[in-house]
Structure 1
């Protein structure tokens, strides 16, 4: 039991839509107040904490669906860091429970959402996460300092490994299969709400958002028409033309995007 088992427990839910087993599980534990399609980002963290044996460390022995209460509990335990000095100086790392305020404050009372940190880019511009209930699925995300309110640092049973991509790092970066990605780009429907065919689409979409080629609302894990159009723009930016700029990822363009945005390309 450790930070790695906690992260693995969250990652197994990647691609899950709604309604889902996480919501049903949380409802069984906490009653009818959680009937219906309630927000389940923190329920995802709670379930993973229970499954990984890190419930006391991550949740202090309490189930959480309300992100503000969860962050406040970290603060009461002396395990809270507000994101007021930037990503590098904050020391945020793999295994931290990360909280977001879409309005850009570091106020606990304004928190909207939660996830878990999987790594931090070497230049400290991006934090890579897994989050439940993001665009109605559980998915990998790439976050910037403007979105982060702060983070809680659980006292895991074993210490987490470094999260940055610097020399000596053992961080685990998202792995994107080129062959599976190409298949998704060719077959995924543009319609939202259907199951994600391949979770590796998400880090690519998040990178396209960071490149200002794709609107955040379309970064939903589906390689639909908007995502394919955005990838065409990326290929053109990289100097590809004609059939080489058809919106289907190729090895050269994908590896270049991956090197900049913190994921790895595999076969």
Structure 2
């Protein structure tokens, strides 16, 4: 088996919502403590590791549901890399098990979430992942450095051919944000927290708004809700647009001109 088998095993769960077979499987292995709708991001990694024949490499022979414990195990094995020097310098790459702290620290004790890396953008601005239990589904995500606490590097049976960070052959070199899909997401009613996102690359735009200091990091969750639309309206006003009423030039709905400016400044491309 190999790194690629592990990535494939996680990818096969894309689209899974909850409650689900991963939770049921984990409950059967680990008992009534996991009854109910428990957080299953690390259970997804555990299940995939078993399916891929990489259970010892990824999980050290232990089932994990608690992300802090999993990251600590990587550290104990000398396989932990804190995200303190940026994406490029860290060397994060396809197959790494990536851990997140939504408050932006690199402290293992603060970790909130986990996924697997599928690639890194050519400009090293973003890490591409697949994650279980991200807004209650298993989905591909695009992550910025401030969300990543660090990563564990499993000793796969067949190691990768290269040790340098690279993007997946099936992943665009830069995030490709669809203007039409983005506008649709921004015009929808703000989804309730915890519901599936309508367009995952909303988070790329949100990360750009965070970098512009217009949006708090806690709202960069892929939901084009009130906070995100307000932040985008502020960005439009910063560009000199007027009219904040619905349908106005600065109403918080992305337009071709404003999105192109944001994309140029923050490393993504705009497509139809």
1:152 positional shift: 0.9
Q: 2:26 maps to what in 1?
A: 26
2:249 is paired with a residue whose SS is: helix
Deviations for 1:31-60, whole angstroms, at most 9, x for unmatched residues?
211112323221232233345554443223
CA distance in 2, matches of 1:204, 1:143: 11
1:244 is paired with a residue whose SS is: coil
1:223 positional shift: 1.8
CA distance in 2, matches of 1:196, 1:14: 14
Q: 1:182 maps to what in 2?
A: 183
CA distance in 2, matches of 1:231, 1:13: 33
- What TM-score comes out, normalization by structure 1 length? 0.75
Q: 1:163 maps to what in 2?
A: 165
CA contact 1:6–1:49 (8 Å) conserved in 2 = yes
1:3 positional shift: 4.2
Alignment of 1:118-157 (within 5 A): 118-120=118-120, 127=127, 129-134=129-134, 138=138, 140-144=141-145, 148-156=148-156, 157=158
CA distance in 1, matches of 2:142, 2:253: 21
Q: CA 1:247 to 1:7, structure 2 compared with 1: closer, same or farther past 3 Å?
A: farther
CA distance in 2, matches of 1:37, 1:106: 28
1:160 positional shift: 6.6
CA contact 1:228–1:248 (8 Å) conserved in 2 = yes
CA contact 2:190–2:224 (8 Å) conserved in 1 = yes
- What TM-score comes out, normalization by structure 2 length? 0.74
Q: Does 1:94 align with 2:99?
A: no
CA distance in 1, matches of 2:5, 2:259: 30
CA distance in 2, matches of 1:195, 1:183: 15
Q: Which stretches in structure 1 are left out of the alignment for 5+ residues?
A: none
Q: How many residues align?
A: 263
CA distance in 2, matches of 1:183, 1:12: 27
Q: 2:75 maps to what in 1?
A: 75
CA contact 1:209–1:216 (8 Å) conserved in 2 = yes
Q: CA 1:246 to 1:13, structure 2 compared with 1: closer, same or farther past 3 Å?
A: farther
Task: Please tell me the root mean square deviation across aligned C-alpha atoms, in Å.
Answer: 3.6
CA contact 1:94–1:171 (8 Å) conserved in 2 = no
CA contact 1:131–1:141 (8 Å) conserved in 2 = no
Deviations for 1:73-112, whole angstroms, at most 9, x for unmatched residues?
3234442223455544332233321234567665545544
Which stretch has the larger CA shift, 23-32 or 102-111? 102-111
1:5 positional shift: 5.3
CA distance in 2, matches of 1:2, 1:264: 33
Q: 1:250 maps to what in 2?
A: 255
Q: Which stretches in structure 2 are left out of the alignment for 5+ residues?
A: none
Q: Does 1:266 align with 2:267?
A: no
